[in-house]
Structures are given as C-alpha cells and as structure tokens.
Structure 1
Amino acid sequence: MSTPLPLFAGRRFRVSYDGLAADNHYSADGRHVQYAIVSGPYAGARGAADCQWQAIAEGVYAISWQEADGATVVHVDDFGNGCSLAWFTASDGSFHRMQGTLQPLPHD
C-alpha cells in the first residue's frame, strides 16, 4: 500500500510572515522543495532541498528540510485555511519563530 501524495505535491505557495516572505515550489512527489526568499532580511536566498513531511490533520502538514548552508526549516502548514507556522535556524545560528499566511501561486 503506497502513501498518498500530500496536498502540496507539485504545487507552488507563498508564505508571508511579518518581515519575511518566501515562495516554495514542491516536487510532484512531495519529496523536494525549491525555495526563494522574496522579501525580508534574507531576500535573494534561494535553493533546493530534500524535504520530509507528515500529515497532522486533513490539509495540515509538518514539512521540514535542511538547506545547503546548514539552515534548518520546519513548517506546519494548513493548506485548507491558508495558515503557516514556521521555525528556522539560519546558518548564522539565529533562531526564528513565525506565523503568517499561505497562498497558492500559479503554475510556471
């Protein structure tokens, strides 16, 4: 029995927090993310990473990844209600807790 694909697989989303926004593009299998910070102190940072996810409730997922520079990211994203909680440790060791909105973006 195979695990069903997550709701976000093959889709793009913008997460917007107070002082930071990022675009996340998830692979069709839900195992990889391409990210681009579009505003805030880390604007211009971009890359790709393997990600892992766990369904928490209908439309709600915990998603985590580690970026090439060592930064770690954990999201709890509620795709049904457009809400995102995120925690990340930047490569400089600073720790950030954020909450904000989650919006689908058009396909490329």
Structure 2
Amino acid sequence: MIEKYYFLGKSFEIEMDNGLQVKNTYTTDGKTVTIEFLNGDLKGSIMHVPYTAKAVDGDNFLISWQESDNSTVVHCDNFLLGKSYAYYTMMNGQFFVMEGVITELK
C-alpha cells in the first residue's frame, strides 16, 4: 500500500503513448502542480495550476486540473506501478485518451 498522497513535494516524468513527455511537480501543500512540457510544440512551456486529487482503490489517484488555456486534464495515476491514464479535453472540443509511464525524478 502506497502512502496517501505520496506524490506531494515530488517531481515525476510522464511519457504518454502518443509521444507527449511532461514533468509534473506537486507542491507539498497539495494545491499546485507545475507542468513542464519536455517535447513537442509546447516544449519548454511551464504552467503552474491548482489541482484536485483523490485517493481511490488500488493505490490509484484521480488528479485533475484546468490548464491556463482552460483545457481540462484528468489523470488516474498509480505511482507505485508507474502507470498513468489521462483524459485531455481542449477548448476546441478535441478529446485525447492517453496511457503512459510515470518515473519519479530524484
């Protein structure tokens, strides 16, 4: 069993099956995630956004936020298994379903 809200104060690289790579850093107070895009059109872009998280069964965490352009992101992340499932809805209505690998950065 993973410690509740294990990810607080830590950074993780997430590589999605569509090639997207990001670095997510969660503040220790559980209020803000910093998202740094590591590749693609947004490479080098950094967002600091408020998020919500909920621990669910099986060491999974539902984590959601609204990006600066009002697009929405919902993750189901299992830090113990290194798995991420993400749903991303853009303001223009485009919808993406992604699966990826989470690596904790030291």
Same topology, TM > 0.5 = yes
- Cα RMSD of the aligned pairs, angstroms, is 1.7
54-63 or 95-104: bigger deviation: 54-63
Distance 2:21 2:100 in 1: 9
1:46 aligns with 2:54: no
Q: 1:69, CA displacement in angstroms?
A: 1.0
**Percent identity over the alignment?**
34
Q: How many residues align?
A: 103
Give the SS at the match of 1:55: strand
Deviation string 1:44-95 (CA, Å, 9 cap, x unpaired) is 3321110000101253100000011111111000011000000111344321
TM-score (normalizing by structure 1): 0.86
- Map 1:1-108; keep pairs closer than 5 Å: 6-18=5-17, 19-106=19-106
Unaligned runs of 5+ in 1: none
Deviation string 1:6-43 (CA, Å, 9 cap, x unpaired) is 11000000110121010000000222100011123433
Q: Which runs of at least 4 in structure 1 moved beyond 3 Å after TM superposition?
A: none
Q: Does structure 2 conserve the Cα–Cα contact (< 8 Å) formed by 1:31 and 1:50?
A: yes
